[in-house]
């Protein structure tokens, strides 16, 4: 991909997350604050929409997630999971908060294989994780 195209793609990605990422986060927090499952669900929907939009942009520019983006996404997921588990451990979560968090993580966890299978196909998605020892130079049996 040419440099100008990469810049344009990055601008679109930043713009998407500036709206849907922060909007989703704000809605999830609002849902936790008001103890409203549906508001949290709207936040989860916003984040999922952000992912979908990101994937659409990737498809338009014929590319995938960049290593930095994947790292940031996994870190954010880990931080959110940690905060959720911490909240649950100290007993600061109401049942609605609990279900809101579980919904978010379930959707995100389901989203990863769904994304990989749409991008690489079911078998290809599996191959992303499965390390073939034949790659070290020995002939495949």
Partner 1 sequence: MTGMAYSVWLPLFALFYVAVMLYWVRVATNEASAGDGFFSAGHALSPWISALFIAGASMSGWFVLGGSQQIAVQGFQMPALIVGGVLLALPGTLFFKRLWFVAERMRVSSQAEIFRVYYHSPFLVVVSVLVALLFALGFAGLQIRAIADFVELLTGGVVTRLTASVVLGFILFAGAGIGGMRAIGYFGVIQTVLAFTGIVVLSGFALIWSGGFAALNAGLLQLSATEGSAGLFTVDRVIRFTSGLGRGGELAEANTALANLSFAFALMGFQASPLVMKLVLSTRSPNGIAAGQTWVTAGFFGAIIAFCIALTGAAGLANRDLALTGLLGALQAGSPWFAAWIFIGIAAGVQLLAGLALFVAGEGLIRHIYRPYFHSRLSKERAVTLTRIAIAVLAVLAMLMENLTPVTLSALAALSLPLAFQLWTPLLGITWLPWITRSAAVTGVGFGIAGVILTEPFGYQVLSFFGLELPWGRWPWTIHSALWGMAANVAAVLIISAITNRDACGSEAKEIRKLFSGLLATSAKARTLRSTAWSVVLAWFFLAVGPGLIFGNWAFIAAGEDGPVWLLGMPSIWAWGLGAWVSGLGLIWFLSYKMEMASPVHVAIPPYEPPPRLKKDKAALEQERLRILVLTGAAGFALAVLIAFSFGG
DSSP string, 10-50: HHHHHHHIIIIIHHHHHHHHHHHHHT-HHHHHHHHHHHHHH
Q: Does 93 interact with partner 1 (rule: CB under 8 A)?
A: no
CB of 51 to partner 1, least distance (A): 17
- Pick the piece of the chain touching partner 1 (CB under 8 A) from 24-32, 73-81, 83-91, 99-107: 24-32
Q: Does 4 interact with partner 1 (rule: CB under 8 A)?
A: yes
Residues 26-45 that bind partner 1 (CB under 8 A): 26, 29-30, 33
Residues 97-116 that bind partner 1 (CB under 8 A): none
Contacts of the segment 72-77: beta carbons below 8 A, 24+ positions apart: 77/108
């Amino acid at each position: 991909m040419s440099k100008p195209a990469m810049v344009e793609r990055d601008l679109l990605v930043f713009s998407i997350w500036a709206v849907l990422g922060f909007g989703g986060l704000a809605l999830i927090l609002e849902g936790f604050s008001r103890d409203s499952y549906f508001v949290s669900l709207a936040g989860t929907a916003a984040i999922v929409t952000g992912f979908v939009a990101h994937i659409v942009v990737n498809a338009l520019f014929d590319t995938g997630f960049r290593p930095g983006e994947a790292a940031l996404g996994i870190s954010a997921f880990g931080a959110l999971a940690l905060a959720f588990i911490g909240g649950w451990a100290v007993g600061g979560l109401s049942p609605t908060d609990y279900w809101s968090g579980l919904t978010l993580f379930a959707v995100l966890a389901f989203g990863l294989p769904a994304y990989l299978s749409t991008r690489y196909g079911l078998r290809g998605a599996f191959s992303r994780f499965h390390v073939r020892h034949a790659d070290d130079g020995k002939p495949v049996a």
